[in-house]
Amino acid sequence: MPPGLLISTPFQNYLIPGILLLIINGIPALLIAFLTLFKVKYYAYLIVIQGIILIVWLTAELIININLFYPLTHITYYLIGGALIFLGLKLRKSVANAIKL
């Protein structure tokens, strides 16, 4: 991405945004995926939290710099975030029903 896209942001280059993306979105996503594979307690909630993190990240990114809006990319990731929330909630209900049986 060209550095010119950062002109209206508080960042001079992509180092700090990249580190923030890794810490806020990347590492938690890997951790949640790992915990989901082993079906730890409350893993369905963790999937919902990951969807919320993704949507909040995208929204904050657009608030900071609307020039970074790429419709196909952002809409796709918003849909993925929404799907994570929806499927996590649906999974939570199915896990709760399985426990009752």
Q: Among candidates 30, 41, 45, 46, which has minimal Cα distance to 93? A: 45
Print the domain residue range for 69: 14-100
Could you tell me if residue 9 is inside a domain?
no
Could you tell me if residue 5 is inside a domain?
no
Integer Cα distance of 75 and 52 in angstroms: 15
* Number of domains forming the structure of the chain: 1
* CA dihedral of residues 71, 75, 76, 81 (deg, nearest 10): 150
Could you tell me if residue 61 is inside a domain?
yes
pLDDT tens-place string over residues 28-85: 999 999 999 998 888 899 999 999 999 999 999 889 888 778 889 999 999 999 999 9
**Sorting pLDDT into bands at 50, 70 and 90, what band is 25?**
very high
Residue 101 clears pLDDT 60, i.e. is over it: no
State the pLDDT at residue 57.
94
Could you tell me if residue 3 is inside a domain?
no
Could you tell me if residue 59 is inside a domain?
yes
State the pLDDT at residue 34.
94
Could you tell me if residue 32 is inside a domain?
yes
Could you tell me if residue 4 is inside a domain?
no
